[in-house]
């Protein structure tokens, strides 16, 4: 039987068209360019976002299972699956469970790692982030908003923060919306240093709903307004991790390492 290989890039998803293009599509293109000649397709894990895109825009995005069925229908025998997840958390676990149900229906399914898996991945991300904000002044603090989770993979966020401090970046902090460290703790830590200005940026693949509302929104409990009430000047940078070339390269490397195809 002749083999037919394809690539599936799996993302949580976003309902913001500009964020989709700048982040998810940019990662997909980077991964696809590393495997010329192979068919690349997209899947989202968020059924809420899939539903919203269909109802609002008439755009249909496959779930992981639907994408796998479409590959089978078109005669594909071997797949490379690359998630754009940051951590090996709940969304990645769900994706792996979906893939496991199809394992015996393909000749092979090779899966790349999420962004932060090996220790070397942390260093690549830290270099990318600190390079982007290399002009940070002594009286400026940079706070990244991660998503956070009850999953044990949330340990990635405090580990990343610890590594930043170990690298001498005393004015960069990692916080999360739904995990640890939370905003209350980050505010306490920043308060002790009393900077003049706080910059807020998402530690998420896309600068989507969390970044635009929870971080930079006008609601009283947004991170922007929480820090404004603390008396700092506040600036919000709406740039998702998918916009960083080093991040796109890292996902591409993960995809390459998952298989013998180079």
Q: What is the mean pLDDT of residues 73-82?
A: 97
Mean per-residue pLDDT over the chain, rounded: 96
Tokens of 97: 């469970």
Q: What is the pTM of this model?
A: 0.95
Closest alpha carbon to 82 in 49, 55, 121, 109:
109
Tokens of 117: 């898996």
Closest alpha carbon to 239 in 14, 23, 21:
23
What pLDDT score does 259 carry? 81
Are the beta carbons of 15 and 212 closer than 8 angstroms?
no
- DSSP string for residues in the chain: ----EEEEEEE---S-HHHIIIIIIHHHHHHHHTSTTSEEEEEES-HHHHHHHHHHH----B-HHHHHHHHHHTT--EEEEEE--SSSSHHHHHHHHHHHTTGGGSSEEEE---SS-SHHHHHHHHHHHHHHTTT--TTEEEEEEE---SSGGGGHHHHHHHHHHHTT-TTEEEEESSSSS-HHHHHHHHHHH--SEEEEEE-SSS--HIIIIIIT-SSTTSHHHHHHHTT-EEEE----GGG-HHHHHHHHHHHHHTSS--
pLDDT(261) > 80: no
Q: CA distances (Å), 20 to each of 10, 38, 101, 117, 158, in order?
A: 13, 22, 28, 24, 28
Q: How many CB atoms lie within 10 A of CB 213?
A: 12
Active-site residue, from 85, 147, 210, 254? 147
Q: How many CA atoms lie within 13 A of 50 on its CB side?
A: 16
Are the beta carbons of 13 and 232 closer than 8 angstroms?
no
**3-state SS string for 125-139:** HHHHHHHHCCCCCCC
Q: Is 147 a catalytic residue?
A: yes
CA-to-CA distance for 114 and 93, rounded, in angstroms? 11
Task: Write the pLDDT tens digit of every residue in 113-162.
Answer: 999 999 999 999 999 999 999 999 999 999 999 999 999 999 999 999 99
Handedness of CA 198, 27, 94, 66 (dihedral sign): positive
CA-to-CA distance for 128 and 246, rounded, in angstroms? 6
Task: Write the pLDDT tens digit of every residue in 181-212.
Answer: 999 999 999 999 999 999 999 999 999 999 99
What pLDDT score does 262 carry? 40
What pLDDT score does 2 carry? 81
């Amino acid at each position: 039987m002749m083999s037919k290989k394809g690539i599936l890039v799996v993302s949580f998803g976003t309902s913001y068209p500009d964020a989709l293009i700048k982040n998810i599509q940019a990662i997909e293109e980077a991964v696809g360019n590393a495997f010329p000649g192979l068919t690349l397709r997209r899947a989202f894990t968020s059924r809420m976002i899939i539903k919203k895109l269909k109802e609002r825009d008439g755009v249909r995005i496959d779930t992981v299972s639907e994408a796998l069925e479409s590959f089978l229908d078109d005669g594909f025998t071997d797949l490379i699956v690359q998630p754009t997840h940051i951590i090996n958390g709940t969304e990645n676990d769900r994706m792996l469970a979906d893939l496991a149900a199809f394992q015996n229906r393909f000749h092979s399914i090779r899966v790349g790692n999420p962004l932060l898996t090996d220790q070397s991945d942390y260093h690549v991300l830290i270099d990318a982030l600190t390079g982007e904000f290399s002009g940070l002044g002594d009286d400026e603090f940079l706070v990244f908003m991660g998503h956070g989770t009850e999953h044990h993979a949330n340990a990635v966020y405090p580990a990343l923060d610890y590594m930043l401090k170990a690298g001498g970046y005393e004015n960069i902090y990692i916080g999360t919306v739904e995990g640890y460290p939370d905003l209350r703790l980050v505010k306490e830590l920043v308060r002790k240093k009393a900077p003049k200005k706080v910059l807020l940026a998402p530690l998420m693949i896309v600068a989507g709903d969390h970044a635009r509302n929870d971080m930079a929104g006008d609601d009283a409990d947004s991170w922007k307004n929480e820090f404004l009430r603390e008396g700092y000047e506040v600036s919000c940078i709406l740039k998702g991790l998918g916009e960083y070339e080093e991040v796109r390269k890292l996902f591409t490397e993960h995809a390459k390492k998952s298989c013998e195809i180079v």
